[in-house]
């Protein structure tokens, strides 16, 4: 394993990207040192669209992770790779049913909520309707997640150990607040978010702690 971690991993990240944020949390929880290479999604029409970055990620999105001599894209794929290659400090339960519940929550957030309030979609929807649009899809997804959590949550999303589901949940709650979603109907989501938000790995991954966070936003 020693030869796999000689070079510091490099995470291509944007400070407010929830997909980048998930991966930052997972890296921190697994105590994997990494460098950040910031990719602005807004400067000059978006640095993710430049030819140089397209060679890194043909989808022209963040995050991308260079690790073990490989370049990986898509946040869930990256997190699963980290889990499979660095099983210490596991972020998936041993129990097959609990693993399925973790995947359900991750999939709802990564497939049914986040893509529909992604920057490229909101630009297409237009300034007048983007808040209503984002609220609709976040609320729809959160109703499903709250229902799932009612039967699988312990201290955290699935039982009493932090999992990949928690890595996905916290950034999505942040986005919900950003779009002024009424979160009162989701008490379990709010409780878990409170449990997680001040843990060191989560605090270090927060947008306000990132090197590319604008000074007026940073703590």
The residue ranges of every structural domain in the chain are 10-88, 96-203
CATH topology classification for 96-203: Glutathione S-transferase Yfyf (Class Pi); Chain A, domain 2 (1.20.1050)
Write down the H helix ranges in 34-184.
51-56, 75-85, 96-107, 119-125, 130-152, 164-178
Q: What pLDDT, on a 0 to 100 scale, did the predictor assign at position 4? A: 46
Asked if residues 21 and 201 have their Cβ atoms less than 8 Å apart, the reply is: no
- What is the C-alpha to C-alpha distance for residues 26 and 164, in angstroms, rounded to an integer? 7
pTM for the complete prediction? 0.93
**Coil/strand/helix, residue 24:** helix
pLDDT tens digits for 160-193?
999 999 999 999 999 999 999 999 999 999 999 9
pLDDT tens digits for 90-113?
999 999 999 999 999 999 999 999
Write the CA distances from 82 to 37, 45, 125, 165, integer angstroms.
19, 31, 35, 14
The CA-CA-CA angle for residues 79, 82, 87, to 5°, reads 125
Asked if residues 125 and 165 have their Cβ atoms less than 8 Å apart, the reply is: no
* CATH 3.40.50.300 given to domain 10-88: no
- What is the C-alpha to C-alpha distance for residues 172 and 113, in angstroms, rounded to an integer? 8
pLDDT along the chain (219 residues), means of 10: 68 97 98 97 90 94 97 98 97 98 98 88 90 96 98 98 98 97 98 97 98 85
Asked if residues 97 and 38 have their Cβ atoms less than 8 Å apart, the reply is: no
DSSP code at position 8 = P
Q: What pLDDT, on a 0 to 100 scale, did the predictor assign at position 123? A: 85
């Amino acid at each position: 394993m020693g030869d796999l971690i000689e070079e510091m991993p490099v995470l291509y990240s944007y400070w407010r990207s929830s997909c980048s944020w998930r991966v930052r949390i997972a890296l921190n929880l697994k105590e994997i040192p990494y460098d950040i290479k910031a990719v602005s999604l807004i400067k000059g029409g978006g640095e993710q669209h430049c030819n140089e970055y397209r060679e890194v990620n043909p989808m022209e999105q963040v995050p991308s992770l260079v690790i073990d001599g490989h370049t990986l894209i898509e946040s869930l794929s990256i997190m699963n790779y980290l889990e499979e290659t660095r099983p210490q400090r596991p972020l998936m339960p041993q129990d097959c049913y609990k693993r399925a519940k973790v995947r359900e929550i991750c999939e709802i957030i990564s497939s049914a909520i986040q893509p529909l309030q992604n920057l490229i979609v909101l630009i297409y929807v237009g300034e007048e309707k983007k808040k209503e649009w984002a609220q609709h899809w976040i609320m729809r997804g959160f109703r499903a997640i709250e229902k799932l959590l009612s039967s699988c949550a312990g201290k955290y999303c699935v039982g009493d150990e932090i999992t990949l589901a928690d890595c996905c949940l916290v950034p999505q709650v942040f986005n919900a607040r950003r779009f002024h979603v009424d979160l009162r109907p989701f008490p379990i989501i709010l409780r878990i978010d409170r449990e997680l938000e001040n843990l060191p790995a989560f605090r270090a991954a927060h947008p306000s702690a990132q090197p590319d966070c604008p000074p007026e936003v940073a703590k």
